[in-house]
Amino acid sequence: MPVIAVVNRKGGSGKSTFAAHVAAWCARQGHSVMLGDVDRQQSSRAWLKRRDAALPTIAAWGIDQKNMLRVPTGISHVVLDTPGGIHGFELARVVMFADAIVMPVCPSMFDRESAAACHAELMTLPRAASGRCRLAVVGMRVDGRTNAAQTLSDWAQGLGVPYLGALRETQLYVRSLERGLTMFDLAPSQAAADLAQWEPIIDWLRPVLQPLPGASTREPISTQGSAQESLLHGSRFAVLSGARALNPEHYIPVRTLPQAPVTEGPEIPRFLKA
């Protein structure tokens, strides 16, 4: 089950916009995709409620009687919209679970500095450092009248991380998301310039989202007999898709933490709490 995580510590970096578009692209390809919103603002979940039922389906988190968030049955692809400020064990667990991580970065110095710190921590984690969890950067809200795209490209090159291109600043994103839509849901003639900017991004993601028959990007997740804990040991995140058992050696040992009280809404998995 391919998993794409959208990660950036800084709020307002465009994570939810990017995650919604990747999920919509997957749905348009006929995949059974889930958009997992683990950001406290729940922006992606709110967007899903605006989405017309006639459009290709994107599933949200499933919730069981114990108020645990689970991947619904039959899901083949997962896109995770992660919270700002993610670091430490939470970031390590995301890397362990994800096949690819995309970091949306806005052009400002503050955004670049925050993203550089996040990238430095990612490079201390074996799966990211070895390339088993792919990592790339995408420029967000870039004004084409400036040299912001080149600045981001040079910055990414300095970090040694692939730069997939920039998505422009346009009200078309704002108006589309307000209606539960993405660029992939619009007529090609209406969003031609923006769809062209998505092409190199999708090309980079395609080996993960559409792996060759028999290929596996990571060890699959077990659901033999009943819903199992995910490969993120100690989390409240469980999976309901058919696959082989995970080797226990892949678990990250963590100490048990007190369960945080939940005041409203679904419980956010502990491993992704900010």
Within a domain: 83:
yes
Indicate which CATH number applies to the domain containing 46. 3.40.50.300
**Poorest-confidence range of 35-49, 97-111, 144-158?**
35-49
Within a domain: 218:
no
Within a domain: 253:
no
Within a domain: 20:
yes
Q: How many domains does the chain have?
A: 1
What pLDDT is attached to residue 41?
65
Summarize pLDDT for 45-79 with one digit per residue, the tens: 889 999 999 999 999 876 555 555 677 788 999 99
Within a domain: 229:
no
Per-residue pLDDT band at 195 (split at 50, 70, 90): very high
**CA distance linking residue 80 with residue 101, whole number of Å:** 9
Summarize pLDDT for 115-163 with one digit per residue, the tens: 999 999 999 999 999 999 999 999 999 998 999 999 999 999 999 999 9
What pLDDT is attached to residue 57?
94
What pLDDT is attached to residue 223?
29
Within a domain: 247:
no
**CA distance linking residue 156 with residue 265, whole number of Å:** 37
Q: What is the CA radius of gyration of the chain?
A: 18
Average per-residue pLDDT in the chain? 79
**CA distance linking residue 24 with residue 223, whole number of Å:** 26
**Poorest-confidence range of 78-92, 93-107, 199-213, 229-243?**
229-243
pLDDT at 241 over 50: no
Mean pLDDT of all residues in 94-122:
94
What pLDDT is attached to residue 257?
33
Which amino acid is present at 23? A
pLDDT at 112 over 60: yes
Pairing of strands 33-37, 77-81: parallel
| Residue 226 region by backbone torsions, left for phi larger than 0, else alpha for psi between -120 and 50, else beta | beta
Within a domain: 127:
yes
What pLDDT is attached to residue 64?
52
Q: Which residues contact 177 (CB under 8 A, 6 or more apart)?
A: 17, 20, 47
**Poorest-confidence range of 49-63, 96-110, 182-196?**
49-63
What pLDDT is attached to residue 62?
61
More confident residue, 69 or 113: 113
Within a domain: 267:
no
What pLDDT is attached to residue 245?
34
Residue 40 structural domain: 3-209
| Residue 103 and residue 7 in contact, taking contact as beta carbons nearer than 8 Å | yes
Mean pLDDT of all residues in 163-192:
95
Whole-model pTM above 0.85? no
**Dmax over Cα atoms in the chain, in whole Å?**
57
pLDDT at 225 over 60: no
Q: Is 37 helix (H, G, I), strand (E, B) or coil?
A: strand
β-partners of residue 137 are 103, 163
